[in-house]
């Protein structure tokens, strides 16, 4: 053969399109680009579909154009709608891109005070990283810092891109932390508002009183209530709720709900006095 290399490339006229594509893929799977450079013996045909030799003159791109109809050897292996399909080339898929591992999600449990003030949480992860030789790997720890912004809500997602296990034939997974708000002993939360339930007896419900509520930042609010407290009554204190993450200077409201404790029993005299008071 001298300095020339030969690759059987001419297609039998009687072969179907499916036969042609199958033969093309089988040839490239077996020999790859190096096979095109070094040459494939002409007797390695596929069911007689390859008949004549092709002389290689040192231009693999030209070979690809002739062999596959373009510079991309994967061009025939797309779905009919144009999307990528997995052809199983050593972890490669579609147009030759590596697959990324599925995201890894972990809950991040935060106290309501953390979401009110904002804070920094440091999370230690252990992951597999590739060594310098590019073939072996080892387990190493890494610290991820999460800057919690005031006003973040339940379900907020913090994404660390490609911080998962490394491998020679994959893109590391993204690590995602999902905010989960811990239960608070005094407050519950609705969007940017804080809800507080205050216990009072029937006497206070029917007369005026004042109440003290400690806020999440340690202040003591003194709130007067001059209305009659009924079952659906609420007291709204503007601007004493949660900060908004887009603008922490803007805050929701504190909404106070009431639980009225009724006496378990009354004496005859007590009932008479109540009747007299309610008829005034």
**Topology of domain 187-278, per CATH?**
HSP40/DNAj peptide-binding domain (2.60.260)
Quick one: pLDDT at residue 46?
42
Quick one: pLDDT at residue 60?
55
Quick one: pLDDT at residue 81?
46
Quick one: pLDDT at residue 153?
93
Quick one: pLDDT at residue 11?
36
Quick one: pLDDT at residue 271?
77
Quick one: pLDDT at residue 150?
95
Quick one: pLDDT at residue 19?
59
Task: Split the chain (280 residues) into runs of 10 and give each run's mean pLDDT.
Answer: 36 51 57 49 43 49 52 44 39 57 90 94 89 84 92 93 85 91 94 93 86 92 90 91 90 93 81 77
Q: Do domains 104-181 and 187-278 have the same CATH topology?
A: yes
Quick one: pLDDT at residue 74?
44
Quick one: pLDDT at residue 195?
96
Specify the pTM.
Answer: 0.58
Domain residues of the chain, as ranges? 5-98, 104-181, 187-278
> What is the secondary structure of 158-213 as a DSSP string?
EEETT-S--BTTBBPPPEEEEEEEPP-SSEEEETTEEEEEEEEEHHHHHS-EEEEE
The CATH label, of 2.60.420.10, 3.40.50.720, 3.40.50.300, 2.60.260.20, for the domain at 104-181 is 2.60.260.20
> What is the secondary structure of 77-129 as a DSSP string?
-S-TTS------BTTEETTTEEPBPPPEEEEEEE-HHHHHH-EEEEEEEEEEE
């Amino acid at each position: 053969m001298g300095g020339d290399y030969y690759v059987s490339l001419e297609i039998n006229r009687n072969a179907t399109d499916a036969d042609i594509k199958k033969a093309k893929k089988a040839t490239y799977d077996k020999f790859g680009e190096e096979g095109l450079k070094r040459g494939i013996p002409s007797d390695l045909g596929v069911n007689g579909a390859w008949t004549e030799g092709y002389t290689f003159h040192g231009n693999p791109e030209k070979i690809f154009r002739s062999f596959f109809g373009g510079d991309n050897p994967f061009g025939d292996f797309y779905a009919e709608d144009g999307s990528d399909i997995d052809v199983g080339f050593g972890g490669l898929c579609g147009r030759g891109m590596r697959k990324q591992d599925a995201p890894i999600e972990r809950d991040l449990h935060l106290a309501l005070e953390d979401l009110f003030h904002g804070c920094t949480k440091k999370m230690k992860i252990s992951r597999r990283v590739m060594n310098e030789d590019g073939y072996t790997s080892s387990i190493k720890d890494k610290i991820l810092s999460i800057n919690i912004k005031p006003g973040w809500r339940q379900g907020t997602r913090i994404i660390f891109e490609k911080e998962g296990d490394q491998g020679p034939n994959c893109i590391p997974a993204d690590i995602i932390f999902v905010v989960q708000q811990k239960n608070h002993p005094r407050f519950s939360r609705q969007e940017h508002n804080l809800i507080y339930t205050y216990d009072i007896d029937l006497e206070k419900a029917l007369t005026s009183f004042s109440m003290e509520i400690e806020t999440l930042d340690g202040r003591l609010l003194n709130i007067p209530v001059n209305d009659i407290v009924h079952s659906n009554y609420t007291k709204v204190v503007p601007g004493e709720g949660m900060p908004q993450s887009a603008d922490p200077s803007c805050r929701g409201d504190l909404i106070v709900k009431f639980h009225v404790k009724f006496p378990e029993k009354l004496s005859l005299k007590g009932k008479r006095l109540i009747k007299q008071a309610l008829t005034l």
